[in-house]
């Protein structure tokens, strides 16, 4: 039985109510619940967090699924605090041992001290920005993808722990384009993505 840990990084703040990321989490649970081969644990970063229990969820999981909105080209502040606190709790405690270097030759092997080898993670993000902002010449992100640009550090963070990345999914134009019709399209496209990902796990 595959063990899936889903983290909802959505947060209520200013004009954001966190509703879309809860919807995406619900879609994920709905998809996984149709198959008895999956055991699911979840966390919402706005809820009260027991740090050791969160570390144990990472250690327990075969796959970690992150759902997060992007605010000012970063994850929300509570999600960043969650990561900082939980990963620090996981030092020599299941998530990472060290930065991987030795005092004998400190110039090499940085980022190889993770303890979560054999586990995978998948990232979903939600954006106000349209997909074309990343793909069209002359547009804001200079033809740099979400994963190679804004979320580059997030992926390196997970690699530092030893986890392996699987292809994620990015929702674009969520704020202005979240019509009922587009929400149905989002769900269909995301569900098809999950079907493809879980064929390979």
In the chain, domain spans: 2-199
Give yes or no for residue 18 having a pLDDT over 90. no
Mean of the pLDDT values across residues 172-200? 93
Give yes or no for residue 16 having a pLDDT over 80. no
Q: Which two tokens stand for residue 198?
A: 């879980």
Could you read off the pLDDT of 27-77 as tens digits, one per residue? 999 999 998 899 999 999 999 999 999 999 999 999 999 999 999 999 999
Confidence (pLDDT) at 107: 96
pTM score, whole prediction: 0.96
Q: How many residues does the chain have?
A: 201
Residue 67: strand pairing partners:
8, 124
Could you read off the pLDDT of 103-137 as tens digits, one per residue? 999 999 999 999 999 999 999 999 999 999 999 99
Which superfamily, per CATH, for 2-199? Answer: Flavodoxin domain (3.40.50.360)
**Residue 37 · residue 176 · CB < 8 Å:** no
């Amino acid at each position: 039985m595959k063990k899936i840990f889903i983290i909802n990084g959505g947060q209520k703040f200013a004009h954001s109510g966190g509703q879309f990321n809860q919807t995406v989490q619900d879609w994920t649970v709905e998809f996984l619940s149709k198959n008895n081969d999956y055991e699911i644990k979840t966390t919402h970063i706005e809820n009260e967090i027991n740090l050791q229990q969160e570390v144990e969820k990472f250690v327990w999981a075969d796959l970690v699924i992150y759902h997060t909105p992007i605010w000012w080209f970063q994850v929300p502040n509570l999600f960043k605090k969650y990561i900082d606190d939980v990963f620090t709790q996981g030092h020599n405690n299941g998530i990472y041992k060290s930065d991987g270097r030795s005092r004998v030759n400190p110039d090499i092997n940085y980022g190889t001290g993770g303890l979560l080898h054999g586990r995978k993670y998948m990232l979903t993000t939600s954006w106000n920005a349209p997909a074309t902002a990343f793909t069209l010449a002359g547009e804001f992100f200079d033809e740099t993808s979400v994963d190679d640009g804004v979320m580059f550090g997030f992926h390196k963070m997970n690699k530092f722990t030893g986890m392996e990345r699987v292809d994620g999914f990015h929702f674009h134009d969520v704020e202005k384009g979240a019509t009922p019709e587009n929400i149905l399209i989002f769900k269909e496209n995301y569900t098809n993505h999950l079907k493809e990902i879980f064929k390979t796990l």
